[in-house]
Amino acid sequence: MTPTPAKIRILLADDHTLVRRGVRLILDAEPDLEVVAEAADGAEAVAALRDVEVDLVILDVAMPRMTGLQAARIIARMRTPPKMLMLSMHDNEQYFFEALKVGASGYVLKSVADEDLVKACRTAMSGQAFVYPGAMSALVRDYLDRLNRGESLPRTVLTEREDEVLKLIAEGHSTREIARELTISYKTVERHRENILAKLGLRDRTQVTRYAIRAGLIEP
Amino acid sequence: MTPTPAKIRILLADDHTLVRRGVRLILDAEPDLEVVAEAADGAEAVAALRDVEVDLVILDVAMPRMTGLQAARIIARMRTPPKMLMLSMHDNEQYFFEALKVGASGYVLKSVADEDLVKACRTAMSGQAFVYPGAMSALVRDYLDRLNRGESLPRTVLTEREDEVLKLIAEGHSTREIARELTISYKTVERHRENILAKLGLRDRTQVTRYAIRAGLIEP
DNA sequence: ATCCGAATGGGTGCTGCCACCCATAAGTCC
DNA sequence: GGACTTATGGGTGGCAGCACCCATTCGGAT
């Protein structure tokens, strides 16, 4: 036997007490895993990382105040960021791709079996590109296959400026208001909006709103 | 001491394995509570009630195939229905009022503390009208206060039809599509939309989307 | 019997959204 | 240096969304 190896130190962030209970129960039962801190929202998680040394952060994608996705963006910019696993109730592409974009090491559904969660933690720590246990949609599978074969990403992502406009649209601002806000012309805003709709495959402002909320870009 | 009293027999229905884990852990730790069955959706819960004798059903409001609210409506029509507690992630009015309407004995958020959940089970079994532990929105509190003082309910501003239209708008459907969906004329849909915007003090379809998501009328 | 709210539908007109077309300046990549 | 991307801006046209006007039918409350 090796002399007791260091456990993987985990920060667990989920706004639902009951979920934290369940996850902690499962993880602490493993000899090589240890939940060393909990957080009830994204902001708490980020703050906790300043006080506690952590190897892996498990983040619920949707939390009040600061979502898991927002927190992940901040965490990824730290000097020595821990690995990140996104925990989600929703088996949908949007959240999944957002998780990829923010640099998470995996995306785990809350409906998975215990062993899948445990395995995801270990795989994430091993440096694997991306973990996705359970039944994922075909679209996601294709995407990950391409990713694992080293192919470049189709680059559906929005530019920074488009992201700004996207948020303002989703918050219910009119084209004219956005133009004033960004001090650019009405026409340029229309141009950005057009590109956003095309890139995301959306039809109108209403769908942009839902997209942005789903992606955790704005609060409902 | 009384000779060991019969435990409260509980059916637990939630589609997320991790949540069932956590809840079961908390309840089974109590001397007077016992989880005797689990279900992963509403249909399973209803089916399980035919095989197992149960005093209390804990139902997640949102489950695939058959939601907890749908299941509650069916369960309430049984000859000797068990008590029902609705479990929810969302502290919003819509689900809450639905829970009231289907005859549940309480509405418990997944973010509550362990003791609150345990207390809710006991209170529900005692025959109390309605339990609502934890931090509820001010709107819900007012509502329950009025309810407990025996005042009549001011009820939602929107009519049933307007509610239908509201949801379809929020889901990103155009006026024309909604008209086809409801087999009414384009003009009537416009009329309903106009009333909705006026009653809710909103400006356009984008804001309707955000409102509906916030109120829990639709999923993002 | 009457009145009111809810649901239905029509007309008219303004404005905003969206889809095409076009161009230019600045930066990056090969 | 040329290709490409990003951000900027313009024009034009069609259709949708929204506001304000109108009316009819039906059922329940007073």
Query: In this predicted model, what pLDDT tens digit does every residue of B59-80 receive, in sequence order?
Result: 998 887 777 887 888 898 888 8
The answer to whether A206 contacts B172, with C-beta atoms less than 8 Å apart, is: yes
DSSP state of B131: B
The answer to whether B111 contacts A209, with C-beta atoms less than 8 Å apart, is: no
Average pLDDT on B170-175 reads: 92
Domain range for residue A201? 160-214
pLDDT in tens, B8-65: 999 999 998 888 988 998 899 999 999 999 999 999 999 999 999 999 999 998 887 7
Instruction: For residues A178 and A133, state if they share a domain.
Output: no
Q: For residues A17 and A38, what is the distance between their CA atoms, to the nearest angstrom?
A: 10
- Selected residues 3-42 of chain B with any CB under 8 Å from a CB in chain A: 15-23, 25-26, 40
3-state secondary structure of B11: strand
> Does some domain include residue B220?
no
Instruction: For residues B93 and B21, state if they share a domain.
Output: yes
Q: What is the CATH number of the domain that holds A173?
A: 1.10.10.10
pLDDT at B154: 44
Number of CB atoms found within 10 A of residue B164's CB:
15
pLDDT at B56: 95
Residues with CB under 7 A from strand D: A 159-162, 182, 184-188, 190-192, 204; B 174-176, 190-191, 193-194, 197-198, 203-206
Total domains in the fold of chain B: 2
Beta-sheet strands, E only, within chain A: 8-13, 33-39, 56-60, 83-88, 106-109
Q: What is the CATH number of the domain that holds A102?
A: 3.40.50.2300
pLDDT at A24: 92
10 Å CB burial of residue B203 (0-12, 13-18, 19+) is: exposed
Q: Which residues of chain A have pLDDT under 70?
A: 1-4, 91-94, 128-157, 216, 220
Q: Which chain B residues are closer than 8 Å to A17 by Cβ?
A: 22, 110-114
Q: For residues A179 and A184, what is the distance between their CA atoms, to the nearest angstrom?
A: 5
Domain boundary among B148, B168, B185: B148
Domain boundary among B148, B171, B191: B148
Q: Which chain B residues are closer than 8 Å to A117 by Cβ?
A: 18
pLDDT at B45: 94
Residue B142 pLDDT grade (very low, low, confident, very high; cuts 50, 70, 90): low
> Does some domain include residue A1?
no
Q: For residues A3 and A61, what is the distance between their CA atoms, to the nearest angstrom?
A: 37
Instruction: For residues A28 and A99, state if they share a domain.
Output: yes
Strand order in the sheet with A33-39: A33-39, A8-13, A56-60, A83-88, A106-109
- Residue B47 identity (one-letter amino acid): A
Instruction: For residues A32 and A87, state if they share a domain.
Output: yes
pLDDT at B90: 72
Interface contact B135, partner A, CB < 8 A: no
Q: For residues A81 and A100, what is the distance between their CA atoms, to the nearest angstrom?
A: 15
Question: What would you report as the CA-atom Rg of chain A, rounded to the nearest whole angstrom?
Answer: 19
For chain B, the average pLDDT equals 83
> Does some domain include residue B174?
yes
For strand D, give the nucleotides within 7 A of a protein CB.
5-11, 16-22
Instruction: For residues A96 and A187, state if they share a domain.
Output: no
Instruction: For residues B174 and B118, state if they share a domain.
Output: no
Instruction: For residues B174 and B133, state if they share a domain.
Output: no
pLDDT at A79: 86
Q: Are A197 and A212 in contact (CB under 8 A)?
A: no
Interface contact B206, partner A, CB < 8 A: yes
pLDDT at A197: 92
Instruction: For residues B140 and B186, state if they share a domain.
Output: no
Q: What tokens does A23 get?
A: 């996850």
